[in-house]
Structure 1
Amino acid sequence: MFIRNERSIKEFKQLYPVVFWIIIIQLALWLLTGFLQTPLGTMIENWGRGVNFYISQGEYWRLLTSIFLHVDLMHVLFNSFALVLFGPALEQMLGKVKFIAAYLGAGLAGNIATLLLGPSIYAHVGASGAIYGLFGIYVFMVAFRKHLIDQSSAQIITIILVIGLVMTFVNPGVNAYAHVFGFIGGFALSPLILTNIRPYNPWIRHQVVDDGSVRFDPNRWQKKQRNKKLLKNGLWIFLGILVVLGLFGRIF
């Protein structure tokens, strides 16, 4: 479920438009607010970041806008990378409307918890709460909708979730409220959104790009074995990236 086999960015956009545009929006906002540091970017950051004091004074839009803003390049790249890995399968399974509702709902749950439980002067940005909400949906599948997720994907989700939760509590710069309650929000929404859906089909892309011709690949078995090896290696590489990012987060 988590290995991308699309052959181009155009194909990825056709198959998963919501995931694609979320990534584009948050990268564009980082360019304005972080890299270029334009006056417009400064205005967007001041207007959109989550600040508990301002939210408590009625600026409730910050609960939503802060999901799309990020602190630095590594922050936005990590969340974008996580969304590329874990978003497409859910977007295909749930459809655009349900996926948007789940993503934003989990992000809002994390930010509301931050408002209620965090210090009054606490400021925060990032899509981590929404990303952890996706994990919550997958964990609900593992526990209660086993027919929707294969065993290897369930193991990957379990491992990554454990590592993510450990990093949440050992890294003092992380908004733990958003992570934990974003996860809870996604888990709580799952019974409502995981209705009348089918398991993820990685070969749906042929409906978009197939020219109708039938081809026989004599090397299909070797390719299958190679893909299995790439999947295993990719998992360990990804876990290593998570650990390294966590360590750098503690250092800087």
Structure 2
Amino acid sequence: MVSARSPTLTTITLFVVVFAVETVARLLGVFPALFVLAPPVTTNPWTIVTSVYAHSGPVHLLWNAIALLLPGFILEHQTSELRYHAFFVAAGATAGVAEITIGPLLGSPAGVLGASGAVFAFIGYLLSANRLAEAAIGGVELSGRTQLLAFVILAIAVTVATGQPGVALIAHFTGFLVGLLAGRAHLLRRSPDRSVPSSR
């Protein structure tokens, strides 16, 4: 059941609100300065956050909203609202910065916006933090470097499989890898409620 205070629905609402503000910003000619993350980041540092919630058009917004629904609803039952939103922004910002840093070297445009890096982080988190993954990884002795290599290979495979022309592939790869690593560390796991005494 979806709560009225669902952070997933709150995030999608933010997508819509930001898109409405984007429309005005386009008319005023200030859209790139407010919403497009581009190098150097120090010129418009707020775009590290605003770009995560901004979209290039209604179809872009719709696809990211649809992609967020399932992993978002699952993850919000495993973590707090604060951790949910903080991870979404942090993962999306990290993916965006990676895209504008590495993407131009591979021929990608210098600017980026959209939530797909954060959505891929949610998917990666759920893949590595579930019980099946725990059993599979826990049953095999792997060094930290080997696990990291396996996650990088998996992130490359997912990025290639979902890649399309004009898509921020570096952001998708980075988001997915961040999610895999965060899930392995159970970064979003709720803290135990210390106010309730434990039974013996």
Specify if TM > 0.5: yes
State the partner residue of 2:19. 30
- From 21, 41, 64, the equivalent of 1:79 is 64
- From 116, 127, 130, the equivalent of 1:128 is 116
SS at match of 2:129: helix
SS at match of 1:52: coil
For 1:100 and 1:184, how far apart are their aligned partners in 2? 18
- From 180, 184, 187, the equivalent of 2:180 is 187
For 2:50 and 2:18, how far apart are their aligned partners in 1? 11
SS at match of 1:53: coil
Cα gap change, 1:100 to 1:140, in 2 (>3 Å): same
SS at match of 1:193: coil
For 1:45 and 1:39, how far apart are their aligned partners in 2? 5
1:47-86 C-alpha deviation (Å, 9 max, x unpaired): 333343241x443221211011101111101111121222
- Structure 1 unaligned runs (5+)? 1-5, 7-11, 147-160, 199-252
State the partner residue of 1:141. 129
Identity across matched positions, percent: 21
Checking the alignment, whether the CA contact within 8 Å between 2:34 and 2:44 is kept in structure 1 is: no
Cα gap change, 1:177 to 1:163, in 2 (>3 Å): closer
Checking the alignment, whether the CA contact within 8 Å between 1:94 and 1:193 is kept in structure 2 is: no
Deviation at 1:30, TM superposition (A): 1.9
Checking the alignment, whether the CA contact within 8 Å between 1:102 and 1:189 is kept in structure 2 is: no
1:81-103 C-alpha deviation (Å, 9 max, x unpaired): 12122201101111112211221
SS at match of 1:90: helix
SS at match of 2:56: coil
Shift >4 Å, 4+ stretches: 39-44, 161-165
For 1:39 and 1:58, how far apart are their aligned partners in 2? 18
TM-score (structure 2 length as normaliser):
0.71
For 1:23 and 1:166, how far apart are their aligned partners in 2? 25
Considering fraction of residues, name the structure with more helix.
Answer: 1
In angstroms, what is the RMSD of aligned CA positions? 2.9
1:18-73 C-alpha deviation (Å, 9 max, x unpaired): 2112111111222343xxx3357656622333343241x44322121101110111
State the partner residue of 1:49. 35
State the partner residue of 2:4. 14
- Structure 2 unaligned runs (5+)? 136-155, 193-200
State the partner residue of 2:197. none
Checking the alignment, whether the CA contact within 8 Å between 2:56 and 2:113 is kept in structure 1 is: yes
Question: How many residues are paired up?
Answer: 168
Checking the alignment, whether the CA contact within 8 Å between 1:45 and 1:69 is kept in structure 2 is: no
1:65 maps to 2:53? no
For 1:13 and 1:45, how far apart are their aligned partners in 2? 33
For 2:75 and 2:175, how far apart are their aligned partners in 1? 16
- From 90, 97, 100, the equivalent of 2:82 is 97
